[in-house]
Structure formats: structure tokens, C-alpha cells
Structure 1
Amino acid sequence: MWELARSGLRQLLAARPGQTKHDLLPALLRSGFSGLTASDVNRLLYGDRSAFTHDGSALPRWRLNSAEHVTHGTYAGPQPRAWQIEALAAWNAAGRRGIVEAVTGTGKTTVGVLAAAEAVDRGERVLVLVPGRELLDQWHEILQRELRTVRVGRLTSGHDDSFLTHSVLVATVQTAARCSVFPIGRAGLLIADEVHRYGARTYAMALDNRFEARLGLTATYAREDNGLDEHLKPYFGDVVARCSYERGLADGILAPFRVAFVETAFRPDERALYEECDQRVRALRHRLVVQHGCPPEPFGEFLAEVARLGHGGHIATRDARRYLNAFSERRQLLANCAGKYDALERLVPATRASDRGLVFGETKECATDVAEILRRHGVEAHALTSEMPSPVRRKVLTSFKNGEIRMIAAPRLLDEGIDVPEADLGIVFAASRSRRQMIQRMGRVIRPKRDGRPATFVVLFVGGTSEDPEFGAHADFVDELIGVAEDVSVFRSNTSGQELLDWYGTGSWERAQ
């Protein structure tokens, strides 16, 4: 009974760390361990300090010990963090199904590697799904390094490995959706990285129901359509573990950080174009909802239906196409506002003072222009785009890591997935309405710094538009930051470059009105 009770304690603390013996006892009794006392719980906890640790308070609050991890079998990776051990235990306790949500930089990949190691030790095959080639190569490299005795293969263009010769396969979701990748005659585990992406119908086709064990990994479990409820929850189940900003900061996994919203302004001609375009977007959206039956919410479902109508053959096709054109034109006006390039020049002194930084743009043209402006001001910068051959991208990232390049400007390539060397400054040139995208971008700069300095995240926005925080932009994102960021400030368009540099250099970011 004692070993079963100890296992029960592990499951309880994996699901909810920080419980006292008085919290744990009734939960164990409800689970069928009749006759246990608080003294018995204490004896179990203190008797296995390799598994359990507490906070040292008068009435100790217990959690799983991060020092207890796989020391046998196939896993040969680094020491897992406490939250990773807890997440793996919570997933096992949920029947080996569920989602693990952990903000970028906290190490969600390690949870997947640990789960894969456990599965291989059980004699199972493991399929790891990723949304792109960069992530496929990244996962393949990590798995080969940390599961040294395991044959790890790849399944994508240029690689045709299979479960006949490999215990673990890493496949792009596009490939897995086209062909069956199930290990015939064996139990299997499916791990889906960036699992929020698979809420799309075409990607959901890769989620093979024959895999009994299922683990989804994501930094932000959110979509703007109904994909979570329609595809992901039925397949994976619920979120079983999280690592939030609060946990990451408390455990020293994330660097302390500051966030600034820096206002820019349209030129008169840009403002006129924006207002005309915005009026068209609003009028056409109203018509598509009222006259053509498009769902008003969630926005992703509305946009998907408009895109379907835009393919032709419908009475609403003309309105759908006009809406999509106006919507794209409005987004481009915001993304390429001349005032943002002016604001970037005001931020040049801060970029010089930073160790290394990233600029997130909307297009490859924007990334190229940003890099050119920074180089013109003496900051060694380089654009990074998906059109570049992989060896060239790797060379740019290596130069960035070595400090030969100080700033990288990229469109959506850096938003999720690929590992980026340490940076302490992030500038969002083209803001996104997506909380998920903003959090993933911020995650690129909030890894701990060797000298303990805070990370800085700067969001450029056009005042008086849908990007303006005063108009409700980024509300969910800002709400999540309040209470964990060292500072969240708004700087108006008349803020000088010297003021921004003073704020960046001293940490006393005074709100400019």
C-alpha cells in the first residue's frame, strides 16, 4: 500500500504543486487509501526526499523534486527542471493524454523528449509531428543527442525513414497528413509540437486515432477559430500542465523583463488611405455577417468562411474578395507606416546599447529595409527570411550568436519554433492582433542573461488605429504582463531617442504623455 500511496502523492503534486500534508491527506483518502493519517503522509514525504521537496515554511508546502528524473533507460539529456518533471507526471496521471502549455523559453521540448524516452523504454514507437522543416531538423538533432541509444529518423521531402528501422520518427505535419505513419503491430505515442497549429482541418488529418498515447506541446494554447474544440480537445484532451511567466520567473528560467509600447503616426496621405480602407473593411464585414451569414465570432471562423466564399461560385464572392483585399491593404498600411521607420531611427541608440536584438516585421521587404537602416547607423544587422537557403540562415544565426551580427530583422520566420541565440532586445515593427504571436515573439528575448540584466520588448504602434492600446489593442497580452513584467509603459510619438535611450539604459522607464 505504501508504494501505491507514494505514487498517489506524486500524481497529486504533479497536478498541483505547493500542497501541505493537510491538503494531500483528504485527496489520498478520497482515492481509496483508507486508514492513512497526516503522520503517514509526513512519513512518506520526508522518507523519499529524492522525490519530494518543500519550501521550508512552518507548515511545509510540497512539490516534486527536480533532482528526481530518469537516470536509467534511454534518456541521456540534461537535468530536467522541476516544472518539466511535474508536467510529465501530470501527463502520465491523465492517462498519457493531454496538452502541456509553457511560455517560450521555459523548455517544453524537454517534456516531449522525456515522454519519448519513457515510451521507447516501454517498447513503443514515437511519432513527433512538427509544422515545418526547421523544427524537424531541430527536433531530430535534440532527440539524437538526448536519446543516444535510439534510432531517430526523419520523414519529409528528402528523407523516407520508417518505423521498420527506427524507434522514433520526426515528421512534418504536411507529410503525416498525406500518408499513414502508424507503427503496425506496436503501441505508439504521438507528440505534436506547436499543437495549436493542428486545429486547422488539413493539419488535423495527421492526428491518427490509432496512437493511444498523445502529447501536445505549445507556448500558447489558443486559436482564433473553433479548432481547439473541434479537433484538438477530442484528440488530446485538456491542458494537464502549464509553465506560466510567474513560474518561469520564480524558478529563474526566464529573465525579468520590461515592455514598452512606442507610438508612431501616419503621414496625412497614409491616414487618409487608412481611414478609407478601414471604412471599407467595417462595411464589408457587416454585409458579410448580416446579408451572407458569415459567423461574426470567433474572428478566425469569420475569416475562414470569407476565404471560402472568395474562391468563387457564391453570391457573396464579390463582397468576400473585396473584404479580403481591403483587410490586407489595411494591414500593410499599418505594417509599413513610414513613422515606424522614423521610430526605429529613434531606437538606434538603444540598439547600440543592447547586446543583441531582434526586429519582427511583416514582410521580407520590411526586414531588408530595417537591416539597411540599422547598418546605415553603424549597427551590424542582417535580414533573415524563409527564402534564404538553410545553410545561409544557419550562418546568419551563428554570426548572431557569436556577436558578429548585433541585430536580426525577420518577418514571421522567428515567431515560433526555431531556436534563436540569446538576445536582450526585441522590437515588434509589425504588431499582431494575436496574443499567441505576441507572446511567442517576446519569448525570444526573455531567456535569462548571463549578467542578470532584464530583457526589453518594444512594440511600435500607429496611434489612433487598431494597433493603439488605448483602443483596446493587445488587451489580453497586456493583462497577462501586468503583475509579472517589471514595467509596462506607453511612450507617445514625441518621445525623443535620448529619452528612449535613458529609459533603456537606466530601467527607470517614465511614462511619456
Structure 2
Amino acid sequence: MTIAPYRLGLTATYERADDAHELLEDTGLIGPVVYEEEVDELAGEYLSEYETIHMQVELTDDERSQYDEEYGIYREYVDTHDFDLWKAEGYQEFLAHTSYDSDGRRALIAKQRAEELARTAVKKLDTLDTLLKRHHDDRTIIFTANNDFAYEISHEFIVPCITHQTKTDERTEILERFRTGEYSILATSQVLDEGIDVPAANVGIILSGSASKRQYAQRLGRILRPTDERQPARLYEIIASDTMENYVSQRRREGVEAGA
């Protein structure tokens, strides 16, 4: 126990998607939030000026056909059981059903397959190619939701990649080369979202991710270190249109971007 009469906590990512942050107040470990300042209020003085660009791509005919089939299986099960997926409790109830209901397990697998089709949509790579050419003089981090997609991008565009599988020495070397400018592009999954010191970048491209505001804020933060650059930092978000990614994108941007 601390003998200090007061304690102060500072964080850029207080809220959690599972609402676990509320336990801090409920258990009396800390008091309520006493002061908040939005990212936009810090831009220009303590952080770089920035802009976010939201982009959508269409699924191919084959991807759309597969997506609609898998998503239909998932939605039919959810609608039949009337789960309220807008609330964390509703989704937990759905997951509980999948542990003993074979139809529920099939619905969960269908959901995961639909999500993967959206995350790895072919036209995302076409858009990524365009953006990398546009920002060839910038320092860019490409964010994905999983290792496989990060490795695919690394192979397709011949750029270094860091995942949780990357050994410490290799990761240190890649980040140092990124810092010096020898590498100008870096692909990663979720390992660089937090907890690792990453050299300044001025362009971020989110190809896939979770609905977590925490993750989105961390990824935005990777491009907000103050620099002498006169151009604002840019965070691109590329999603597959008319898929679950629309909802995911909306959820993670709420309360992080101005006006989101």
C-alpha cells in the first residue's frame, strides 16, 4: 500500500472494449476520471498535426459470394436466438452458446471466415500499392490484424515485417534501420500497437484491426511524434465495404477522432 495521500494516473487509452476499466472505480482502487484532453487538442504543440483518411474497397465477385454465404449462416443463428450484439454481454452470450451448440459453433466459424475474407480483400492490396507509391518519400507503418496478412504484405511488397514471432535481435535491427531511414516501410500485426518504442513515422495504413478504441488510439499514436515535417501525419484506414468492417471501423474511431 502507498502512504501517499493522493495518486495520479496518466494514460492515453483508459477505456477498454470489455468495460474492464470500470472495475477500477467500482473496486475503489482509483477515483473517477478528473481530466480529459482529446488528441486534437494536443496536435500542433505536443503532437504532430494529423489527418485521418477513411477508404473503402469492394470485394471481388468471388469474395462477395463467399462472404455473403458465411455471414448469412452467422446472422441466421444470431437472429434466431435474439442476441444483442451491440452489448458486450450479448456477444458473450453468443460465445457461450458455441461451447455446447453445434449450430452455434458453425455460426462462429462462419463469422470468422467472413471476417477473414473482409480483412484480406484483394483490392486492399491494390489500394495499398497506390498509397505506398504516393508516399514513397515518407516513413510508413502498415498495420494488420494478424501475422499471416502481415507476412503476405511483406512478401508482396518486399518490406520488413515485425510480428510477435520476430526475434528480439532482428526486431531491434529492423527498428533501428527504420529510424535511420534505411527502411522507409514497415509491416506489422498487433505487436507494435503498444509496449515497444517505435521510431517516428508520418504515415500509418490500417488494413485490418479490431473494434478496440485502445488499439486504434495506439496505432494513431505511432505517427504523432512531433517532427520538423511541415506536412501533417496521415492515418489511412482501408476497409471492405458492406461488410462487418464498417461496424468495426465505426466502433474503434468513436471518441478517438474529432467528431467521430
TM-score, reference length from structure 2: 0.86
Q: Tell me which residue corresponds to 2:135.
A: 351
Give 5+ residue unaligned stretches, structure 2: none
Query: What do residues 153-187 of structure 1 show as CA deviations (whole Å, max 9, x unaligned)?
Result: xxxxxxxxxxxxxxxxxxxxxxxxxxxxxxxxxx4
CA distance in 2, matches of 1:258, 1:481: 9
Is 1:188 matched with 2:2?
A: yes
Q: What does residue 163 of structure 1 align with?
A: none
- Quote the residue 1:439 is aligned against: 217
Secondary structure of the corresponding residue to residue 236 of structure 1: coil
Q: C-alpha separation between the residues in 2 aligned to 1:240 and 1:392? A: 42
More strand as a share of residues: 1
Size of the alignment, in residue pairs?
258
Unaligned runs of 5+ in 1: 1-186, 190-210, 376-380, 489-513
| Equivalent residue for 1:372, pick from 155, 170, 173 | 155
Aligned partners of 2:73 and 2:110 also within 8 Å: yes
Matched residues in 1 for 2:85 and 2:241: separation?
Answer: 26
How far is the alpha carbon of 1:464 from its aligned partner?
Answer: 2.3
SS in structure 2 of the partner of residue 240 of structure 1 = coil
Measured against aligned partners, the alpha-carbon deviations of 1:205-241 in whole angstroms (never above 9, x if no partner) come to xxxxxx9976554323223334233x22223231123
Q: CA deviation at 1:297?
A: 4.2
Amino acid in the other structure paired with 1:240: V
Residue type matched to 1:256 in 2? E
* Offset, 1:341: 1.1
**Does the 8 Å contact 1:359/1:427 carry over to 2?**
yes
Secondary structure, counterpart of 2:235 in structure 1: strand
Tell me which residue corresponds to 1:399. 177
Are the aligned partners of 1:431 and 1:461 in contact in 2 as well (CA < 8 Å)? no
Q: Deviations over 1:142-162 (max 9, x none)?
A: xxxxxxxxxxxxxxxxxxxxx
Q: Which residue of 2 aligns with 1:232?
A: 24
1:302 equivalenced with 2:93 (yes/no): no
User: What is the root-mean-square deviation in Å for CA atoms of aligned residues?
Assistant: 2.7
- The aligned runs of 1:381-460 (5 Å cut-off) are 381-460=159-238
Structure 1 residue aligned with 2:77: 284
Choose 1 or 2 for highest CA Rg: 1
Is contact 1:364-1:410 (8 Å) kept? yes
Equivalent AA in structure 1 for residue 250 of structure 2? H
SS at match of 2:71: helix
**1:479/1:353 CA distance change after superposition, 3 Å:** same
Query: Structure 1 residues 324 and 237 mapped into 2: Cα distance closer, same or farther (>3 Å)?
Result: farther
CA contact (8 A) 2:144 2:188 kept: yes
Question: Partners in 2 of 1:359 and 1:306 — Cα distance?
Answer: 32
Any conservation in 1 of the 2:211–2:251 contact (CA below 8 Å)?
A: no
- Among candidates 112, 118, 125, match of residue 341 of structure 1: 125
Higher relative contact order (CA 8 A, sep 6+): 2
SS at match of 1:369: helix
Q: Tell me what 1:275 maps to.
A: 68
> How far is 1:286 from its partner?
2.2
Would the alpha carbon gap of residues 296 and 467 (structure 1) be closer, same or farther in structure 2, given more than 3 Å must change? closer
- Determine the C-alpha separation between the residues in 2 that align with 1:371 and 1:394: 17
State the distance in 1 between where 2:133 and 2:209 align: 22
TM-superposed CA distance for 1:460, in Å, is: 0.8
Is 1:322 matched with 2:113?
no
Q: Which deviations, in whole Å up to 9, do the C-alpha atoms of 1:393-426 show, x marking residues without a partner?
A: 1221111111121111111112223221100010
Structure 2: distance between partners of 1:237 and 1:324 = 38
Name the % identity.
Answer: 27
Residues in 1 aligned to 2:5 and 2:92: alpha-carbon distance in whole angstroms: 31
Task: Supply the AA of the counterpart residue of 1:334.
Answer: A
TM-score by length of 1: 0.46
Structure 1 match to 2:39: 245
Q: Does the 8 Å CA contact 1:431/1:460 hold for their aligned counterparts?
A: no
| Aligned equivalents of 1:295, 1:214: Cα separation in 2 | 38
Q: Corresponding residue for 1:265?
A: 58
Structure 2 vs 1, CA of residues 359 and 476 (structure 1 numbering), >3 Å: closer, same or farther?
A: closer
